[in-house]
Structure 1
Amino acid sequence: MPSRPHLDFDADALWSLARVGEPSLSPDGGQAVVCVSQPSMEDNRSRSSLHLLSTLGGRPRRLTEAGDKDHTPHWSPRGDLIAFIAKRHSDGKPDADPQLYLIAPDGGEARRAAELPTGIESFKWFPDGRHIAFAAWVWPELKHAAQAARMQAERARKESAYVTDHTLYRWWDQNLPQGRALHLHVLDTATGRVRDLFEGTKLELGRMDHSAQAYDIAPDGKRIVFAFDPAPEPSCENRFALAEIEVRNRQHRVLLQDADWHFDAPRYSHSGRYLAFLASHQGARHTAPNQLGVLDQRGHWALCSADWDRDIAAPLRWTTEDDAIVFAAEDQGRRHLWQMHLPSGEVDCLCRGGHVGAFDLQGTTCVVQHDSLHHPPRLSVLTDQGPLRIEHFNDERLARHRFGEAEEHWIEGAQGEPVQTWLILPPGFDPRRKYPVLHLIHGGPHTCFGDSWHWRWNHQVFAQQGYVVACVNYHGSSSFGHAFLDSITHRWGELELQDIEAVTTWLLQQRWVDAKRISAAGGSYGGYMVAWMNAHVAPGRYRAYVCHAGCFDWQAMYADDAYSWHHMELGARYFDDPAQVARQSPAAHIAGARTPTLVSHGAQDYRVPDAQGLAYYNTLKSLGVPARLVWFPDENHWILKPRNSRLWYREVFDWLALHAPKAKARSR
């Protein structure tokens, strides 16, 4: 029987895949609940619902049906309920803001836990399985009972102006709620009663990270530890402290504060005797990695990972005996799950990536969400024989397509140091033929292109067009140690360009590369880099550039949401040392640019305001350089709507085909 022909893996195929979220395990470890989102190109939106999975395998069971955006499920410690966040219709009316819902794991109707007038950002269960701690934006001068009336008045106001005197007033794509602060609350799920633990104080949770990693509940349920900004004026460059608040009387005390250190992601041990947390020595260097710290009941703290040159990520989870902590961390372009033993600091790898995106741990049962360059996120339970799949949401769809192989290469780059480069080859790659090359340059700059699935810049979608996709983890990238990451500080563009150019030179030595069809594309800092390349690389070496949401002019970038952070990376504020800032701006060098460039940007981008992309596009047009603009009035730093994404891919491929035509012949 002849095999079915494989379909191209294009933007439509990418958006047909289900997106599997972070797992939450039942107390006995027997089941996991997960949010699964299903995009629709026809509806131009995604719908999400909750599914139950047995950690022994088998078919999943859909738990919620009526919701549209059910997400962030967490199992009650008693195992009788699952809490999640959603906007639904309840009691005959729609939720104006996300609310907290409860559902039994055996199904039935979900019920709203309480009507929270300002909505909810994140939550955690108390150990008793009855109470929930949650974070919500409130007017700090009002008691909880007055919040609903104020919210109603806010929605009814006719003025549109946003008025503030805060340093930190917007983030990513949202204006922070005007006049409000993020407070911790306690909800009694049996009665619906809510208490604001920060009421009447100046305390607030961090304005940038609204997740539940910022706080944790003691095993006895009497105290909550939280990370907060102790400075009089919140700012993205401030260093956080850790405090603890008594649930009964709302008395709080600072546990850990140091002007040189940033503390975050606290987690109580099972016994309650110790507190694990992330500690970054910002006083030594603003790029200092997150290390693992432990605080005892006497107020003494120590670093457990001082000799481990990797950046540790939240969440932190204690093992059953409180003798080790489990976490995820990057290492040389991959992200693994690790276990650090206490007090020795010895590290074991529990699950190798690819990319371990999330995990949950109950007793000896551990479930991981993991992906790679060859497959989107999936869920597996860790066994002695390795990860065991417990879901197959995308297997049937993925089987329709062929995917390109990925290769890892190490090439000598700037300062004579080896630089990791991923090559994703077209399906059916034949080294006897010639192929165009497309550099995909990652953002950050302190991130990396790893062995991971990318939903917005998908390597396989690019490779399917016939390109050899090159992803250089240039100097400044994460996962290769602090010295490598910090090497570009105060001299952006210099070493990164040397690395990309070294890889291009190496590629030109490969017999399967068509030297006349090499292009480069990047977003955010990657967009900055392609603008920098246009200004610094002789025309003709690269046939075309794609600049998405790229930084162009660092003085004008002072309009972004993280402006108070610039001077740490650039070495100065633009008004203190204009020359220092200008020499790192593509705008100061762009007069010689000649390479055709596609510029794309979203109007709701506060990280890199769209004026950056518009200024770059206008500059290219003024210089007579072939340029095309794709501007999205309804997108942020990322392109998130299915049809917008499909259009973006089409524009990119049409632009590259015009200036660097793809290979027509392919292997059979």
Structure 2
Amino acid sequence: MPRTVTPAAPFDVNALWALARIGEPSLSPDGAQAVAAVTRYDMEANKAQSSLWLFSTLGGEPRRLTEAGEKDSAPQWSPTGERIAFMAKREQGGSKDEEPQLYLIAPDGGEAQRAATVATGVEAFRWFPDGQRIAFISWVWPGLRGAKAQAEALAAFKARKTSAYVTDELMYRHWDHHIPMGRVPHLHVLDLRTGRVRDLMEGSEHSLDWKEPGAHSFDISPDGRRIVFAFDPAEEKRSENCFALGEIDVKTGALRTLLQVAGWDFDAPRHSHAGRHLAFIASERGRSHTAPAQLAVLDDRGQWAVLSSEWDREVTAPLRWREDDLALRFMAEEHGRQHLWEWALPASAGEPAVLFEGGHAASFDAQAGVVVVLHDSVQFPPRLSVLGEQGPERMEALNDAALAAHRFGAHEEVWVDGAEGDPVQMWLVYPPDFDKKKKWPALQVIHGGPHTAFGDSWHWRWNHQVFANAGQVVACVNYHGSSSFGNAFKSSINARWGQLELQDVEAGTDWLLRQRWIDKKRICASGGSYGGYMVAWMNGHTGRGVAPGRYQAYICHAGCFDWQGMFATDGYTWFPQELGAAYWEDPAKVDAQSPHAVVQHAVTPTLVIHGQLDYRVPDAQGLAYYNTLKARGVPARLVWFPDENHWVLKPRNSQLWYGEFLAWVERYTTGKARMGA
């Protein structure tokens, strides 16, 4: 096993938050420069500051482009290369933005200028090919006409004396916020020459995705005459509804359904450069709610086909056509890593080729034959590289000096025999000074989802290097249900949650216990979201699949505890599909997959962490679990954040989170207590 050179200082939570965080890049039309937002955090001030930076693909030092804004984000280079558009909330000309607005800045510097004032704000945007117009998303009252009416309605809404949220919609909140009451996301066009803004969907029944409408939800045709978009055609919006593709005529506002097929969900449309084909992501939800996201193409005759039906991987947006329109580029996971792929057309030519091998390819852009990738690894946070003839070439070194001052542990993957005899991947991250001749504690970190995966990637909220630097071997099992191992593996846990995953995690722990360098009396397990469900499930299975005393302590972050109570979640229509029934249809079936039904067997000390703004796993889940453990006399500690959602995002709160997390582990692996634990 490779040894890691040990610099002076351990990598801890403060070092983590001192790093710069680079956002998604946008390339200039000539491919010579990329622009991206860079966010830095001030632990003392407990706040963030984001600005735009320019990075050369030809060499040279990065250059900061914006100074005045606090949250400059989502930059996009204009097709003509003369301007960069971005979103921000600023004060300019005596007017302070109440909602995010579009700003423009020249790439050679100067003061950014507000492109327009949109009362209802800007959610996401795209440039038109002529560089004179911008299409953007804004949440509006669909029954009102004109910008003045929208502004008056927003002012009245903000001035109201009541605080209630009133709705008769099935889908009314998402993640950590309520869907704007009475408003829907519409496509708009801003003409930069005149400053005129038009709502292209005004007076229609169409709108974009109510959950997370973004720049991948729509695309503008090469001639600028049409915009294609993904939308839910059903009258009642539900998270599991299948989306269709619509098209709007920019000049006339005429709307039509471009592609709608029963049982198929379509998303992330992208025009070819010649405009004759449209690439998009297609999932056959009518066959299975866990159907994989596949690559599909629609031609100008109305014929469409799935290209990747025989390729057992899932395609991730964005999609990009190569300049000659003879290949498509996209990202997809494979065995816990995410690569950048290129699929040559026609699809009969074979499977796609890997353009960039992760680690974890987070995003990319391509212009003028140049490809830039934002990528990360367990060993380093997101960085920008340009794909050269000899492989990836770094474009920046923003974090290199800070990283060089700290110690990092080596990581590797092993495979264990999991449930049903299937091979299961487990990632290991070792302490920086790891020595096989010594005995080490171990920490199982169980991922959420369940249909996601831990991989060779950098995690800001659950950083494996911070955990390993605390002096323990970190293990991450990609149990049955995880993504990136094929659709059969991902779907295998449906209607029997907890069963296969428990066997897989225990197989991983069995592997650890067979290593001479693991201290068998110092094992802990932790997890967030579905991972939190798993540790609550494991605690309730003490003596019923989990050996008593195997784990000295658990940490349950935003964990699911009671599937009946989980009907308060924003995804309440999705869980019955996964569990195989709603709680009123088959109570026994649902209870058989619920930690609350076996909590009488829980004996292991547990740290419970939850945020009040968590609508994915409402905080009553964590409170009920903590209260139950306390009522039963099981050692437990609660960390409850009134201002955090499913994640802990504020610097000081994160500092506390890591402190409580590691103190709990230390208490039950060394017998010591710190941080008041």
TM range (shorter): over 0.9
How far apart in 2 are the matches of 1:659 and 1:348?
48
Counterpart pick for 2:268 among 248, 262, 265: 265
User: Residues 4 and 582 of structure 1: is their aligned pair in 2 closer, same or farther, counting only changes over 3 Å?
Assistant: closer
Return the alpha-carbon distance in structure 2 between the equivalents of residues 46 and 161 of structure 1.
31
1:567 to 576, 580, 593: 576
Cα distance in 1 for partners of 2:327, 2:542 equals: 50
Aligned equivalent of 2:521: 516
Please identify runs of 4+ aligned residues in structure 1 that moved more than 4 A. none
Task: Encode CA deviations 1:257-296: one digit per residue, 9 max, x unaligned.
Answer: 1121000000000000000000001111110111011001
How far residue 503 of structure 1 moved from its aligned partner, in angstroms, is 1.0
* Partner residue of 2:174 out of 171, 176, 201: 171
Tell me by how many angstroms 1:662 deviates: 8.7
Please report the TM-score for the alignment, with normalisation by the length of structure 1: 0.98
- In structure 2, distance between residues paired with 1:381 and 1:419: 33
Match of 1:426 in 2: 431
Distance 1:470 1:4, change over 3 A: closer
| Residue aligning to 2:108 | 106
Instruction: Tell whether 2:217 aligns with 1:214.
Output: yes
| Preserved CA contact (<8 Å) 1:476 1:484 | yes
Provide the rounded CA distance (Å) in 2 between the counterparts of 1:496 and 1:58.
Answer: 48
Partner in structure 1 of residue 651 of structure 2: 642
Maintained 8 Å contact 2:311/2:351: no
**2:592 corresponds to which residue?**
583
1:19 corresponds to which of 15, 21, 30: 21
Per-residue CA distance 1:108-162 (angstroms, 9 max, x = gap): 1111110000001000000000100000000000112211111111111111011
Would you say the 8 A contact 1:304–1:342 is kept in 2?
A: no
Q: How many residues align?
A: 662
C-alpha displacement of 1:194 = 0.4
2:95 is the alignment partner of 1:93 = yes
Distance 1:419 1:661 in 2: 30
- The aligned residue for residue 411 of structure 2 is 406
Within-5 A mapping of 1:24-35: 24-35=26-37
SS of the equivalent of 2:573 reads: helix
Per-residue Cα deviation, 1:1-35 (whole angstroms, up to 9, x for no partner): xx996111110000000001110000000000010
1:386 aligns with 2:391: yes
Q: Give the Cα separation in 1 of the matches to 2:167 and 2:658.
A: 38
Deviation readout 1:436-466 (Å, 9 max, x if unpaired): 0000000000000000000000000000011
Q: Residue 558 of structure 1 corresponds to which residue in structure 2?
A: 567
**Long gaps (5+) in structure 2:** none
Paired AA for residue 508 in structure 1: L
Matched, 1:333 2:342: no
Aligned partner of 1:54 in structure 2 is: 56
1:249 and 2:258 are equivalent in the alignment: no
CA deviation string 1:584-640 (max 9, x = no partner) = 110011101000000000000000000000000000001100000000000000000
Give 1:226's aligned residue. 229
SS for the counterpart of 1:288 is coil
Equivalent residue in structure 2 for 1:489, among 489, 494, 499: 494
Deviations 1:191-250 (A, max 9, x none): 210000000001000111221101000000000000000001111010000011100001
Question: CA offset at residue 663 of structure 1?
Answer: 11
- Secondary structure at the aligned position of 1:403 is classed as coil
CA contact (8 A) 1:528 1:586 kept: yes
SS at match of 2:670: coil
What is the match of residue 309 of structure 1? 312
Measure the CA separation in 2 of the matches of 1:255 and 1:191: 31
Identity score, percent = 63
Q: Please, which moves more after superposition, 89-98 or 430-439?
A: 89-98
Partner residue of 1:351?
Answer: 356
Q: Deviations over 1:361-391 (max 9, x none)?
A: 1131000000000000000000110000001
- Could you say what secondary structure the match of 2:502 adopts? helix
Between the aligned partners of 2:162 and 2:135, the Cα distance in structure 1 is: 34
SS of corresponding position for 2:16? helix
Distance 1:439 1:298, change over 3 A: same
Residue 656 of structure 1 aligns to a residue in which SS? helix
Amino acid aligned to 2:275: G
CA distance in 2, matches of 1:363, 1:565: 42
- Is the 8 Å Cα contact of residues 466 and 663 (structure 1) preserved in structure 2? no
Which residues of 2 match residues 483-632 of structure 1 at below 5 A?
483-538=488-543, 539-632=548-641
CA distance in structure 1 between the aligned counterparts of 2:357 and 2:627, rounded to whole angstroms? 46
RMSD of equivalent CA atoms: 1.2
Return the letter of the residue paired with 2:591.
Answer: A
Match of 2:369 among 364, 369, 379: 364
Unaligned runs of 5+ in 1: none
The equivalent of 1:469 in structure 2 is 474
Deviations 1:546-589 (A, max 9, x none): 00000000000000101011111000111111111111110011
